Amino acid sequence: MRRTSLILAAVIAVACAHAQNQGNNGMRYKWRDGQGLPHYSDSLTSDAIKYGYDVVNDRGLVIQHVERQLNPEERAAARKAADEQAAQQRAAQERVRNDSQLLSAYPNEADYKTSLQQEVDNIDQQIRTTQINLHSQEKALTDLLARAGDLERAKQPVPKFLSDSIAKQRNVVAGQRAALDRQQAARDAASAKIGPQLQHYRDLKAAQGKDK
């Protein structure tokens, strides 16, 4: 806080010195206070710096406008807005680079469509592999449950190792089913994106053709 006060005092001192130097040239300063009332002065005051001011020449014409000082909250908001704008600019530049790379990698729509379909085909292969594994794990679980059922029907206790194996196998099956659900969702998402991605490619090619 003390540092801010010192900086403000220095700014005011420099501005006042500038005002003193300009006084000989007939410069004046005008500003509006917090209530919107106009003020005029031959020297630059702290209120003028606080609210922002105009430098007026001897003919009453504004030759320079100086914005008011921002409070800490406003400075923070201004920094946030500037950061967001910079992020948007970076994102826009990244999109331009990606589009350029897309056009370079796939000179025609057929090649690009094949690439998009390949992504779906790869997921399909993963799904088939998971389905095979799931079937195998479900069979293993069924066998364990059958053994436990045989013991129970024979009025014999189910050994702890068998109960533990059943619990473990159930977790394995549940994990495989969850993986299959994720893969199915990924396939649906990849398949749904093909249309919009192809349209975006067509738009880029059309724009490229117009630029030539």
Q: What is the pLDDT of residues 106-143, one digit of tens each?
A: 999 999 999 999 999 999 999 999 999 999 999 999 99
The span from the CA of 134 to the CA of 175, in Å, is 9
Q: What is the pLDDT of residues 183-211, one digit of tens each?
A: 999 999 999 999 999 999 999 999 987 77
CA geometry: angle 130, 131, 137, nearest 5 deg: 85
Give whichever of 16-20, 32-36, 68-72, 140-144 has the largest mean pLDDT: 140-144
Residue 161 buriedness (CB in 10 A; 0-12 / 13-18 / 19+): exposed
Q: Decide if pLDDT at 10 tops 80.
A: no
Q: What is the pLDDT of residues 45-79, one digit of tens each?
A: 888 888 889 999 888 888 898 888 778 898 899 89
Q: Model's pTM, two decimal places? A: 0.59
Pairing of strands 62-66, 53-56: antiparallel
Q: Decide if pLDDT at 26 tops 90.
A: no
Q: How confident is the model at residue 212 (pLDDT cuts 50, 70, 90)?
A: low
The owner of tokens 């088939």 is 128
| Average pLDDT over the chain, rounded to an integer | 87
